[in-house]
Structure 1
Amino acid sequence: MSEPATPDAASPDEGDPEGRTDDEQERSEPTDSTETSEEAAAAREEAATRAPGSGAEAVIAALEAAGVETAFGVQGGAIMPVYDALSASTVDHVTMAHEQGAVHAADAYGIVRGDPGVCMATSGPGATNLVTGIADASMDSDAMLALTGQVPSDMVGSDAFQETDTVGVTAPVTKHNYFANDSDEVGRTVGEAFALANTGRPGPTLVDLPKDITFGETDRPVGEPTAPDRAVPDLEADEEQVEAAARAIQNAERPLCLFGGGVIKGDATEQARAFAREFEIPVVTTMPGIGSFPEDDDLCLSWAGMHGTGYANMAITHTDCLIAVGTRFDDRLTGGVDTFAPEAEVVHVDIDPAEISKNVHADYPVIGDAATVLDQLDAAIGYGDAPDTESWCAQCDEWREEYPMDYAIDPDEPVKPQFVVEAFDAAMDDDAYVTTGVGQHQMWAAQYWTYREPRTFVSSHGLGTMGYGLPAAIGARVAADDDREVISFEGDGSFLMTIQELSVAVRENLDITVVVLNNEYIGMVRQWQDAFFEGNHMASQYDWMPEFDTLAEAFGAKGFRIDEYDDVEDVVEAALAYDGPSVVDAHIDPEENVYPMVASGAANGQFALAEDQL
């Protein structure tokens, strides 16, 4: 994969009227990019070659050698030596209110930057509090490095205070994890873990750091961070695979591109867009692939799956050649696997051979880097041999008109959540970052926001982690250029799970806007209870919610409230104008549901537009 450009980080401080430290004010001034790059390279080389004094200093030197600018974490006993070394480092640290907040913030930071985010926690409960976020990153193939403290080596296995078998607990949800057992090697281990996280198919790695190892003396330089040779995949696909796939695409009458999260993670959006446009092939995305293709492009049918657009699901149902790039074909996309793309030959491009034919049989497997393979396919097809897609594109346009993404509003009825999402979308820049929690609000944010750029939709997909949105917004804000806007859509139930991180946003004076689509339910659970459990709202009604706008003020943020349509315009303008963290408590129609909807295990083409169709 190519190395993406990384924007300057922002870690505001209350000492400056604009919330920036002196160093950050200097970074915000225009600089010569070549000079900045050379300085960064020199700093990495110095960190890689200097002699550390301790294992903890080697850990931090490894982060500096990898070019890490920011880490997120919570201090504690077993990780204390590492934090002590961090205090003298060029790596900024954002102290979070809870370890789960730290891991989600690091995850989102890495998504925005295109490099692994870094989180830190102490042993025992600190480490176990990271597990949800590590599992989330694993499911979504997000590059991330977790550093956890551990009791001294000679106490491991004795049930010492705050001891947990962190390596054993996290083995199922990491790409690889390490138990550090040598002060001389710990720096190289951390560097390898960082490099491995972003090599091939990205994923989270973890290094468990016993206290005696980080306290131990060492003068061994950490070297450059390098992944093991065995982990470095071939970028180019086998030519025979490429030729076979190219012939299938040429012979298709109804070809369809399906772009997944791997297109974004592989920095292949430029190649994906060029490929689809050159051959005039309609495009659908997965939810993790949102932003890989501009949703305002005539070829784009938006995203497919359980709550995808009707026209995207119709295209998948009727395509005769599905060109799937960087997707694992999860059940939220496919519905019933036996009925998924029933008329199609499947071309599956992925860097991980384990994904080929795991869920959906690949008629034409093509194993390699997404950007590289798309270039190979482009060359193999050739412009003169492109499929004729005119009538197929016209059919897709008909489905777009037949199944529009619209909704009815009544000024005398409660506010529709879709209206709130669209109002913020219209008021914000095209390249704004959108983070979400998980639930109905996540689907509305995905459906009714127009995404044009990669890495702008930051959400929890495979694990479906409620509470992801606010800490993710913090991570995205720290990672983003100062002129990029950040908004988080949360549900009332989801927001309450990590609301403590609002204290971090206030302390750091982060300019983020949190919009709570408040229906006093765990909305998606309530929707399923209505559809499949005879309306038995067991444990899903949250009519005991606090006033989030008032609570935001107690944290030191700015609170706003929406109760009716007449409030929306003024609140949107005021919330976005506020220079700092703001929370909009938007009271929405509690009975509004997310449609279209494909029932679990059903065929994509059998989507419901109302409850009585399920």
Structure 2
Amino acid sequence: MSEHQPMPETDGADDGTDRRTDGQSADAAGERPEGAATDAEGAAADAADQTEDATDAAGERAAQTGADSVVASLEAAGVDTVFGVQGGAIMPVYDALYGSEAVTHVTMAHEQGAAHAADAYGAVSGEPGVCLATSGPGATNLVTGIADADMDSEPVVALTGQVPTDLVGNDAFQETDTVGVTTPITKSNYFASSPDTVGEDVSTAFALANHGRQGPTLVDLPKDVTRGETDAQPVEPEVPDTVRVQERAPADEVAAAAETVAESERPVVLAGGGVVKGDATDEVYEFATAHDIPVVTTMPGIGAFPEDHDLALEMAGMHGTGYANMAVTMTDCLVAVGTRFDDRLTGGVDSFAPDAEVVHVDIDPAEISKNVEADHPLVGDAATVVDQLADAMPRSPDTAEWVAQCEAWKAEYPLDYRAPEDEPVKPQYVVETVDAATDDDTVVTTGVGQHQMWACQYWTYTQPRTWVSSHGLGAMGYGLPSAIGARLAADDDQSVVCFDGDGSFLMTCQELVVAVREQLDVTVFVLNNEAIGMVRQWQDAFFEGRRMASEYPWVPEFDKLAEAFGADGFRIEDYDDVPDVVEEALAVDGPSVVDVYIDPTENVYPMVPSGGDNGQFALTEDQL
């Protein structure tokens, strides 16, 4: 069943304050709606109504206002880091955060950055990331990040300010129907209606974001609700009784699937993002290695199976390896775990795994047979169901010839590239060099484009939660703010590296100010080809080379731009620079940016044209 909950119908609004950090009210300029209180009046009332850091008999923070209740609920959920941008309608919540010793707030440069940082925090930690924004433009600026989290099933809780309830629907200053805007891109969202229940709303949103198939939730917080008095105490996150998630698949269906796997001659395990999010990597590893079954991953599933293992075929799909795509095309039994079979993976559905019986394991029944028909649908928690499948196996399939065939495909279609010394630096070489210079548990984040694909293909991922990117939405600009969120979620001894493109980096480079201010140890490699490279590649291949709006006639010197922000800047212009500069940049104890001048003619291959047959991948443009 779906975990989406019915939403109350309402419009969003704000009380007339703008989002300027100096606290100046728009009321002074005559923009305050008639009858609305000024911020100064509200602040005076707040000061009269609140006592500083009050605690109850149990030593817990006692909630005096709805805003206090919001913060207390975050504390009860174990939240230690939140990302956001201050503003008028969310100001009472920020005032309550001022008194919290448990929750650290990271002020981002833009609300989109806050959402992406929270998304990456959830991806690396496995626990919901939290972002805050004010009403109107603050809330709408979160939308890209929320949509990204929804597409990739990342746990995020968004808290948005809203105008007082008596102004909702009046087109008040900075009013937006945030609940209406975000309903299609959240698991659940709430319009907080009372100071007495707002804390429970936040706790429920947190629980739902982390329950079953993870995803984003949102609570819209009218200013009169967060300012209103309450004696409600915080509650720990709890999923509503109406929400049901099936943990185990029916035994008879598991037994039938196991028999199909045992009888197969060419089985493949397809590990999707749900394997990582469901903490099922150990179970998938044990199942595949016990029965000598090759493993392919989706792009969100990178890290679900160690890519240095003999059974690893790495990523399949549009820019997947030739050997992964051959295996998926020729398999007679596809054991797909935690994947939604999106079009970047399947290409044309009719040509995807055409001879396979499909065993589909997924916690969300809505994904079963949505894109690819499942012969054996197994709804349930990935780790649990894979264990069930392992226990039900009557015998191992005879895969010796099949494994040998997959090894032959690896030799026939290796990931390689030409790197003449008299030509510009190849981006693949840079990715490989950084990989060799860092530990296996290094977290890699990316923006979206060619650089993202090179980071997929030429980095060897051996551990889960070390690959963080925008998959389903494909949001350019994701790389840097996600590196910030990943840095704050990762262990102190883990490195965090971001591969970005010049086009993607320009969309969110303002977040460098956050990395510098917080002294976050992140290293950004801008693979600079002075173009939106993937668009240019498609224009050359499918639009007869008409490069409209894909090339940049001028871009800044990103190393100098980094220095202007206060980060360390480096530049790579030829092959001799690469090893030393990579080492120097990684050694910086804080943020650094490396502007890498790469070959502007380099493209991403293999490539399957959109809607094409994965078994007919192109290795050069001439083959498209």
Please confirm whether the aligned pair reaches a TM-score higher than 0.5, indicating the same fold. yes
User: Residue 231 of structure 1: CA displacement?
Assistant: 2.1
User: Residue 220 of structure 1: CA displacement?
Assistant: 1.0
User: Residue 50 of structure 1: CA displacement?
Assistant: 5.2
SS in 2 for 1:120: strand
Q: CA RMSD in A?
A: 1.2
Contact residue 84 and residue 105 of structure 2 kept, 8 A:
yes
Aligned partners of 1:231 and 1:297: how far apart in 2? Answer: 39
- Counterpart mapping for 1:564-603 below 5 A: 564-603=574-613
Could you tell me which residue of structure 1 aligns to residue 190 of structure 2?
A: 178
1:353 aligns with 2:368: no
**CA offsets 1:544-591 (integer angstroms, 9 cap, x no match):** 100000110000000000100011011001001111100000000000
Could you tell me which residue of structure 2 aligns to residue 73 of structure 1?
A: 84
**CA offsets 1:62-94 (integer angstroms, 9 cap, x no match):** 100100010000000000000000011110000
User: Residue 225 of structure 1: CA displacement?
Assistant: 1.0
Aligned length: 569
Could you tell me which residue of structure 1 aligns to residue 291 of structure 2?
A: 279
User: Residue 134 of structure 1: CA displacement?
Assistant: 0.2
Contact residue 56 and residue 62 of structure 2 kept, 8 A:
no
1:238 aligns with 2:250: yes
**AA partner of residue 138 (structure 2):** G
Contact residue 347 and residue 364 of structure 1 kept, 8 A:
yes
Could you tell me which residue of structure 1 aligns to residue 319 of structure 2?
A: 307
Could you tell me which residue of structure 1 aligns to residue 135 of structure 2?
A: 123
User: Residue 45 of structure 1: CA displacement?
Assistant: 12
**CA offsets 1:501-543 (integer angstroms, 9 cap, x no match):** 0000000011100000000010000000000001111000012
1:338 aligns with 2:371: no
**CA offsets 1:294-346 (integer angstroms, 9 cap, x no match):** 00000000010000000000000000000000000000000000100011000
Aligned partners of 1:343 and 1:44: how far apart in 2? Answer: 65
> How many percent of aligned residue pairs carry the same amino acid?
72
Could you tell me which residue of structure 1 aligns to residue 497 of structure 2?
A: 487
User: Residue 259 of structure 1: CA displacement?
Assistant: 0.2
Could you tell me which residue of structure 2 aligns to residue 290 of structure 1?
A: 302
User: Residue 482 of structure 1: CA displacement?
Assistant: 1.1
Aligned partners of 2:312 and 2:491: how far apart in 1? Answer: 28
Structure 1's consecutive aligned runs of 4 or more residues displaced over 3 angstroms after TM superposition are 43-47
Could you tell me which residue of structure 1 aligns to residue 199 of structure 2?
A: 187
**AA partner of residue 274 (structure 1):** E
Aligned partners of 1:137 and 1:458: how far apart in 2? Answer: 12
SS in 2 for 1:605: helix
Could you tell me which residue of structure 1 aligns to residue 466 of structure 2?
A: 456
- Counterpart mapping for 1:140-539 below 5 A: 140-382=152-394, 385-539=395-549
SS in 2 for 1:293: coil
**AA partner of residue 56 (structure 1):** A
Could you tell me which residue of structure 2 aligns to residue 84 of structure 1?
A: 95
Aligned partners of 2:205 and 2:327: how far apart in 1? Answer: 41
Aligned partners of 1:521 and 1:386: how far apart in 2? Answer: 50
Contact residue 436 and residue 468 of structure 1 kept, 8 A:
yes
Aligned partners of 1:51 and 1:425: how far apart in 2? Answer: 49
Contact residue 150 and residue 163 of structure 1 kept, 8 A:
yes
Contact residue 112 and residue 145 of structure 2 kept, 8 A:
yes
Contact residue 295 and residue 451 of structure 1 kept, 8 A:
yes
Contact residue 199 and residue 232 of structure 1 kept, 8 A:
no
**AA partner of residue 86 (structure 1):** L
Could you tell me which residue of structure 2 aligns to residue 6 of structure 1?
A: none
Could you tell me which residue of structure 1 aligns to residue 10 of structure 2?
A: none
Aligned partners of 2:281 and 2:295: how far apart in 1? Answer: 12
Aligned partners of 1:220 and 1:77: how far apart in 2? Answer: 24
Aligned partners of 1:415 and 1:406: how far apart in 2? Answer: 14
Aligned partners of 2:580 and 2:416: how far apart in 1? Answer: 23
Aligned partners of 1:82 and 1:356: how far apart in 2? Answer: 41
Q: Which runs of 5+ in 2 are unaligned?
A: 1-54
SS in 1 for 2:424: coil
When normalised by structure 1's length, the TM-score is 0.92
1:63 aligns with 2:74: yes
User: Residue 443 of structure 1: CA displacement?
Assistant: 0.1
Aligned partners of 2:58 and 2:524: how far apart in 1? Answer: 40
Could you tell me which residue of structure 2 aligns to residue 13 of structure 1?
A: none
Could you tell me which residue of structure 2 aligns to residue 110 of structure 1?
A: 122
When normalised by structure 2's length, the TM-score is 0.90
Aligned partners of 1:46 and 1:309: how far apart in 2? Answer: 58
**CA offsets 1:365-413 (integer angstroms, 9 cap, x no match):** 000000000110000004xx11011110000000000000011111010
**AA partner of residue 246 (structure 1):** A
Could you tell me which residue of structure 1 aligns to residue 37 of structure 2?
A: none
Aligned partners of 1:202 and 1:80: how far apart in 2? Answer: 29
**CA offsets 1:190-246 (integer angstroms, 9 cap, x no match):** 000000001111110000000000000001112221011232312111111101111
Aligned partners of 1:146 and 1:231: how far apart in 2? Answer: 20
**AA partner of residue 566 (structure 2):** G
Contact residue 46 and residue 65 of structure 1 kept, 8 A:
no
- Counterpart mapping for 1:22-37 below 5 A: none
Contact residue 257 and residue 324 of structure 1 kept, 8 A:
yes
Contact residue 141 and residue 201 of structure 1 kept, 8 A:
yes
SS in 1 for 2:563: helix
**AA partner of residue 394 (structure 1):** A
**AA partner of residue 70 (structure 1):** T
Evaluate the alpha carbon distance shift between residue 46 and residue 270 of structure 1 in structure 2; reply closer, same or farther with a 3 A threshold.
farther
Contact residue 200 and residue 231 of structure 1 kept, 8 A:
no
Evaluate the alpha carbon distance shift between residue 46 and residue 336 of structure 1 in structure 2; reply closer, same or farther with a 3 A threshold.
farther
Contact residue 606 and residue 619 of structure 2 kept, 8 A:
yes
Could you tell me which residue of structure 2 aligns to residue 134 of structure 1?
A: 146
**AA partner of residue 396 (structure 2):** A
User: Residue 138 of structure 1: CA displacement?
Assistant: 0.3
SS in 2 for 1:498: helix
Aligned partners of 1:547 and 1:103: how far apart in 2? Answer: 27
Aligned partners of 1:332 and 1:440: how far apart in 2? Answer: 14
